[in-house]
Amino acid sequence: MKALLIIADGLAGRPRDVNGKTCLEAAWTPNLDELTSRGMTGLVDPIGPGIRPGSDTAHLSLLGYDPYTVYTGRGVFEALGTGMAVQPGDVCFRANFATVTPGKDGFIVKDRRAGRIASGQAQLAKALNEIHLGEKLGIEFEFRPSTQHRGALLLRGEGLSRYVTENDPHKVDATALDFQPVEGHNDESSRRTAAALSELVRYSYEVLYDHPVNRQRTLNGDHPANYILARGAADLPRLDSIEAIYGVCGAVIAGGALYRGIALACGMKRIDAPGATGGLDTNLASKAKTALETLRRLDYVFLHVKGTDNAAHDHDAKAKTAFIERIDAELIGPLMEDIDWERTHLAFTGDHTTPIDCGDHTAEPVPVLFVGPNVRQDSTITFGEREACRGGLCRFSGRVLPMLFNYNNWNPKFGS
């Protein structure tokens, strides 16, 4: 048996998104509707009713883990997602290039995303990674870029702590913050980790501000990438791998580093689909093709698409609706055609609601669809928020992957 889990980020919406409909309800999705009429739908609270999920915690929960128990922070998933081999004890950060100018009380943040820098990141990272932190700290580090200004930072050494604050002021023309031990964690490890970070970002300006890449950017009128903002401190979460729990091997196909990182933390392999960007411009047909190829070799695939959420964060109902229609046509269509439906179960859902008006995650439940030979059918015939209220799965919280795997008889028994 095979299993395919597809999560469209921020899929669900609110009735004011498109004249009384959500984007998902407004979109023309004949393939999802066909799967709905063959399978069973319902509503899933990614974490629980009324709990507004982050992308990381929502994914952990949907994959069957209790985020209240295992979640240590976002940074470690970003680091794993960029390809770094995180070890227990390492402390990782979601980090990005920014543009600053020296000010009276520190560095003033002029652009939190360094003009969404699109080239030269590797050279800048190389320069950064040549910094040596004070010998006495005994801490090594690595910055690795992912897409645009984004990347991850990993600290390695004895006695590091994830209980440190961030330096991102989250607004422009504000002074970059000092790293500090998190309140209630004023111990030696946290103070040492904060000190190392402070030293590192101070050096980052020295190394970056006059770097040839930035000299050229300034000449071009682009914001120089002359500083590092780091947040989301986290160490490796203690997770039983999916293989250890269910005895099956699978892979993640995702353009976004975060989603790859979460899946890697759960023990999935990483498969890169050509043209998968983690954005609205991603190549969905390539992801479908890669998923089908991977399913021939492995037991299951977790396929993530991000564009739905990007459009919603940009308050762009048209783009979100259009992207959902592309998912239906370019991803679901080819999959429907080529999946071996006698031997495969598929689940399709989102990781949270992102209404157009709000432009950020909200807590409403998300429609979810299961289809395959062992799924009890219900009477729903279109895939959308309000139709899913009538679905045979009713409403439940998280655990979509275990429910999918259950149809393949993969789940361990609790008890006897």
Residues that bind a copy of itself (CB under 8 A): 14-16, 22, 42-43, 45, 47-58, 64, 67, 71, 73-74, 94, 232, 355, 357-358, 360-364, 373-378, 385-386, 389, 391-403, 405-406, 409, 411-416
Residue in the structure block whose two tokens are 């949907």: 62
At its nearest, how many Å lie between a copy of itself and the CB of residue 51?
A: 6
User: Using an 8 Å Cβ cutoff, are 300 and 405 in contact?
Assistant: yes
At its nearest, how many Å lie between a copy of itself and the CB of residue 93?
A: 11
At its nearest, how many Å lie between a copy of itself and the CB of residue 56?
A: 5
User: Using an 8 Å Cβ cutoff, are 413 and 246 in contact?
Assistant: no
User: Using an 8 Å Cβ cutoff, are 383 and 35 in contact?
Assistant: yes
Nearest CB to a copy of itself, comparing residues 153 and 331: 153
CB-based contacts of 63, cutoff 8 Å, min separation 6: 242, 262, 263, 266, 302, 400, 401
At its nearest, how many Å lie between a copy of itself and the CB of residue 61?
A: 9
Q: Sheet containing 300-305: which strands, arranged edge to edge?
A: 269-270, 250-254, 300-305, 2-8, 344-350, 366-371, 40-45, 395-397
Q: What are the φ/ψ torsions at residue 233 (nearest 5 degrees)?
A: -50, 135
At its nearest, how many Å lie between a copy of itself and the CB of residue 366?
A: 11
Instruction: Please state whether beta strands 107-111 and 91-102 pair in parallel, antiparallel, or not at all (unpaired).
Output: antiparallel
At its nearest, how many Å lie between a copy of itself and the CB of residue 68?
A: 8
| Count of C-beta atoms within a 10 Å radius of residue 19 | 8
At its nearest, how many Å lie between a copy of itself and the CB of residue 28?
A: 20
Q: In the beta sheet, which residues pair with residue 174?
A: 109
User: Using an 8 Å Cβ cutoff, are 381 and 68 in contact?
Assistant: no
Instruction: Please state whether beta strands 2-8 and 269-270 pair in parallel, antiparallel, or not at all (unpaired).
Output: unpaired
Nearest CB to a copy of itself, comparing residues 218 and 406: 406
Nearest CB to a copy of itself, comparing residues 16 and 116: 16
Q: What is the C-alpha to C-alpha distance for residues 108 and 100, in angstroms, rounded to an integer?
A: 5
Q: What is the C-alpha to C-alpha distance for residues 73 and 236, in angstroms, rounded to an integer?
A: 9
Nearest CB to a copy of itself, comparing residues 52 and 270: 52
Q: What is the C-alpha to C-alpha distance for residues 132 and 140, in angstroms, rounded to an integer?
A: 8
At its nearest, how many Å lie between a copy of itself and the CB of residue 77?
A: 9
Nearest CB to a copy of itself, comparing residues 115 and 169: 169
Nearest CA to 6 among 411, 412, 404?
A: 404
Nearest CB to a copy of itself, comparing residues 224 and 402: 402
Nearest CB to a copy of itself, comparing residues 69 and 216: 69
Nearest CB to a copy of itself, comparing residues 89 and 412: 412
Nearest CB to a copy of itself, comparing residues 283 and 362: 362
Nearest CA to 282 among 300, 304, 315?
A: 304
Nearest CA to 307 among 84, 23, 29, 94?
A: 23
Q: What is the C-alpha to C-alpha distance for residues 91 and 119, in angstroms, rounded to an integer?
A: 27
Strand intervals (E) in 226-299: 227-234, 250-254, 269-270
Nearest CB to a copy of itself, comparing residues 120 and 169: 169
At its nearest, how many Å lie between a copy of itself and the CB of residue 60?
A: 8
At its nearest, how many Å lie between a copy of itself and the CB of residue 236?
A: 16
